[in-house]
Amino acid sequence: MESLNDLGAEYEQRFAALAPYREAVWQVLVSDCFQRYVRPNAVLLDLGAGWGEFIRHAQAGRKLAMDLNPDMPKHVGPGVEILQQNCSHRWPLADGELDVVFTSNFFEHLPDKDSLRRTLQEAHRCLKSGGRIICLGPNIRVVQGAYWDFWDHFLPLTDRSLGEGLRLCGFAIERVEPRFLPYSMSQGWTPPIAFLRLYLRVPLLWRLFGKQFLVVARKP
């Protein structure tokens, strides 16, 4: 596993130069796509929050962010509760305390499927009946070898393998998009924000450019 210093250094090296662009992208992703899953009074956890681009823009009654990155607390913004811990250990939350768990480009950083299984079990325990987990991440079936271009990628996943894992942990799959967003915002193409709004409205474009899956599951 990586050291905490590695986590902070990797984020700085990978994302600092594009931080303003990433901020604008996530503002659109939240408003045009993900906010529909989060009620204004919801209890929302950003799992693997990183620099907090999602949780800063999401509207919720109570917001929590979980990550081991030592720089996470100074990035997530005011009013967000910090859970700085290993996600595969028991979460300091009561059964059924959460309405929504959101996670983006995080599961591939876990060391193995047992860690992912324990994480999904904790999400299931802490979600209310009817609560959702929203998972976004690189689909190795589409990305293939480029998946390993990042030093901290350990766990290869597809929409199908993650869906199977979610079902084994008691979730019911609600939505699956094998090809949703392009692969990475840390390098390469940075299209205009206006194009992103168009992209989200035209699923045909997802089939051309999408290399990340979107899986939404519900706790029955």
What CATH number is associated with residue 101? 3.40.50.150
pLDDT tens digits, 85-136: 999 999 999 999 999 999 999 999 999 999 999 999 999 999 999 999 999 9
Output the pLDDT for position 93: 98
The two tokens of residue 212 are 């990340």
Residues of the chain with pLDDT under 50: 1, 5, 8, 12
Mean pLDDT of the residues in the chain: 91
CA distances from 141 to 156, 161, 212 (A): 9, 10, 10
Q: Count up the domains in the chain and report the number.
A: 1
Output the pLDDT for position 11: 54
Output the pLDDT for position 18: 74
Give the amino acid at 103: T
The two tokens of residue 152 are 């901290």
CA distances from 147 to 51, 54, 110, 135, 173 (A): 21, 22, 14, 17, 25
Tell me the three state secondary structure of residue 51: coil
Q: How far apart are CA 217 and CA 13, in angstroms?
A: 33
Tell me the three state secondary structure of residue 190: coil
For 123, the domain range is 4-218
CA distances from 71 to 44, 55, 62, 88 (A): 20, 15, 21, 20
The two tokens of residue 19 are 């931080």
Tally of CB atoms within 10 A around 95: 10
Nearest to 174 by CA among 139, 212, 201, 214: 214
Residue 217 contacts by C-beta under 8 Å, 6 or more apart in sequence?
132, 133, 135, 163, 166, 167, 171, 172, 173, 174
